[in-house]
């Protein structure tokens, strides 16, 4: 089974269940990674872990060096990535506390280094991005959730916004008209870069708030962080189930 990497999002500056073996401060030709690349073992499976926002959540979404992060994982031999992401819910079935593996995305970001193929170091190429997520990896997550008796929403459209501010109510209404089910800030260019490097990629999203204007309650970081903490146990259980199943097949 190919090497697995886990990219930690908000609330996951570390992976508590990971038995750390070594950490690597990695500088790629695109610069430094967001945090040291951690080599360890999860439920008997060798795993790489990278905190997308840094260990102390000090890197905002629009300043993440996505190219360095994905290049470092590719150089380490990672062939599949499960990317954790805290998101807002737009669809009625995506209430706070919901775990979701989306199958599509809409990119609303701007100004980020979107590709390795910028005509400089890697020349120019055009990858097929019709289905931005790896279907086999999505199905692996869904199967692990079923075996673990955990609810996990299958599919959905992830709308990727620039951040770091949260969205306006009008922006959320537009995204709803566009068909988006959840909203976050980090799936792009991460998913596209993984595709360019031939790495299977899936987002494991956890809903931590309703989108702006969809709830009478005010949006506060205190409430969002509390929901992240509530989701963390479910995320860790699911990751352990995935690692255990992979370890059994090795």
For residue range 140-181, what is the model confidence (pLDDT) as tens digits?
A: 999 999 999 999 999 999 999 999 999 999 999 999 999 999
Is 186 annotated among the ligand-binding residues? yes
pTM of the entire structure? 0.94
pLDDT at 216: 84
Is 52 annotated among the ligand-binding residues? yes
Is 24 annotated among the ligand-binding residues? no
Largest alpha-carbon pair distance within the chain? Answer: 50
- How many CB atoms sit inside 10 A of residue 202's CB? 25
Percentage of the residues of the chain whose pLDDT score is greater than 90 = 86
3-249 sits in which CATH class? alpha beta
Question: For 8-27, what is each residue's pLDDT tens digit?
Answer: 988 898 898 999 999 999 99
- Can you tell me the mean pLDDT for 59-75? 97
Is 215 annotated among the ligand-binding residues? no
pLDDT at 1: 41
Q: Among residues 220, 225, 183, which one has the least CA distance to residue 205?
A: 183
Residue 186 DSSP class: S
Is 188 annotated among the ligand-binding residues? no
């Amino acid at each position: 089974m190919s090497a697995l990497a886990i990219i930690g999002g908000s609330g996951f500056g570390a992976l508590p269940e990971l038995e750390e073996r070594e950490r690597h401060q990695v500088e790629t030709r695109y610069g430094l990674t967001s945090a040291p690349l951690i080599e360890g073992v999860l439920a008997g499976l060798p795993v790489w872990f990278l905190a997308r926002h840094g260990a102390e959540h000090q890197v905002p979404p629009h300043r993440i060096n996505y190219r360095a992060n994905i290049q470092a994982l590719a150089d380490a031999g990672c062939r599949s990535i499960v990317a954790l992401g805290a998101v807002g819910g737009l669809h009625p079935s995506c209430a706070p506390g919901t775990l979701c593996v989306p199958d599509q995305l809409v990119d609303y970001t701007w100004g980020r280094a979107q590709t390795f193929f910028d005509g400089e170091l890697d020349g120019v190429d055009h990858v097929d991005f019709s289905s931005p997520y790896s279907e086999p990896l999505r199905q692996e997550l869904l199967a692990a959730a079923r075996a673990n008796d955990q609810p996990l929403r299958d599919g959905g459209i992830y709308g990727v916004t620039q951040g770091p501010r949260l969205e306006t109510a009008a922006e959320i209404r537009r995204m709803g008209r566009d068909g988006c089910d959840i909203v976050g800030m980090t799936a792009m260019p991460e998913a596209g870069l993984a595709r360019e490097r031939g790495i299977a990629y899936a987002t494991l999203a956890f809903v931590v708030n309703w989108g702006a204007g969809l709830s009478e309650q005010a949006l506060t970081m205190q409430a969002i962080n509390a929901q992240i903490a509530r989701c963390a146990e479910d995320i860790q259980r699911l990751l352990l189930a995935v690692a255990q199943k992979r370890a059994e097949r090795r």
